[in-house]
Amino acid sequence: MPRLAASVVAIVAFACSVDAPARTVYRCVRAGTVSLSTAPEPGSKCEAKAIDDNAAMLPNLWGELGVFSGTLYEWRAPDGRMVYTTRRMPGAVQYLKFTVETPKASPAHPGLGRLGPPKLDAHAREFRAAAKAHKVDDAFLRAIAHAESGFDARAVSPKGAQGLMQLMPDVQKEYGVVDPFASKQSIDAGAKFLRALLRRYKGDFNLAAAAYNAGIGAVAKFRGVPPYAETLAYVEKVHALHERYRSAMGLKPLDPPLRPAQ
């Protein structure tokens, strides 16, 4: 896969067959996700960007997403034009894979500040019991709790997640939570949920954390960690915390280390 220093703008621009010193790339946004295309995408809000072939540096049209991978698709528009886009449109076929390196988002989960040191004394008995009962890495379970609520059992997010493990109401219901603000119930349900995610992703902590943050559907849609700034930052933060908790608990470092978001 080609690795790009700034963005996939060059690939999209040069996919056009027009021989001209400047080309047009469309930056399209739909449902909070960004794509680049050689023509406006139906159903997306698109903005035309003129790309100068002779410019010393191509613009970053993605935003601050860190490093992520994607696919450029070839798609025939209703008017018969061949369009190249990074969004999978109906009937599109894969043209090539790419990896994009953009400025990093803040390594801290938005709104939660710095990582801080491991808190081994926070609900230690409940974490040990839940991790053992549901066969989940205790350090990973604590890392998620640290990132989600900072171990605040009364935490409530703007999106409706509740409790120490910040579980959404549908997850609470699925795993038998009666009181979402009871730390023991929240930790136990969070361990069950993480166990299910780790089984789904064959033990991949990176994907499990991404699904915990953005949802299973988003991971399936992007076939890996979604290229959302918040999710990329969250996965990075959970990984860093996971390493710190494993070290504080006398466990060996993670192997392999965190992979770039896929």
* Whole-number pLDDT of residue 254: 74
DSSP category for residue 11: H
Q: Report pLDDT digits (tens) over 204-235.
A: 999 999 999 999 999 998 888 888 888 888 88
Nearest to 142 by CA among 2, 71, 244: 244
8-22, 137-151, 203-217, range with the lowest pLDDT: 8-22
DSSP label at 33?
Answer: E
Residue ranges of E strands in 93-232: 93-101
User: What is the dihedral sign for C-alpha 133, 119, 66, 5?
Assistant: negative
Q: Are 76 and 93 in contact (CB under 8 A)?
A: no
For position 229, what pLDDT does the model report?
A: 82
CA 155/CA 139 separation, integer angstroms = 21
Which stretch, 55-64, 108-117, 224-233, has highest mean pLDDT? Answer: 224-233
Cα dihedral value 247, 253, 254, 260, nearest 10: 90
- DSSP-derived 3-state class of residue 25: strand
- Phi, then psi, of 139 in degrees rounded to 5: -65, -40
Give the residue, 197 or 109, on which the prediction is more confident.
197
Q: Which of 41, 64, 101, 148 is catalytic?
A: 148
Residue 159 tokens read as 């999106």
Q: What is the set of domains in the chain, with CATH numbers?
A: 3-101 (no CATH), 124-248 (1.10.530.10)
Is the pLDDT higher at 259 or at 178?
A: 178
Q: Which residue has the higher pLDDT, 39 or 133?
A: 133
**230 catalytic per annotation:** no
Quick one: which H or E segment has residue 234?
Answer: helix 229-248
What's the whole-number mean pLDDT along residues 149-163?
90
pLDDT greater than 50 at residue 172: yes
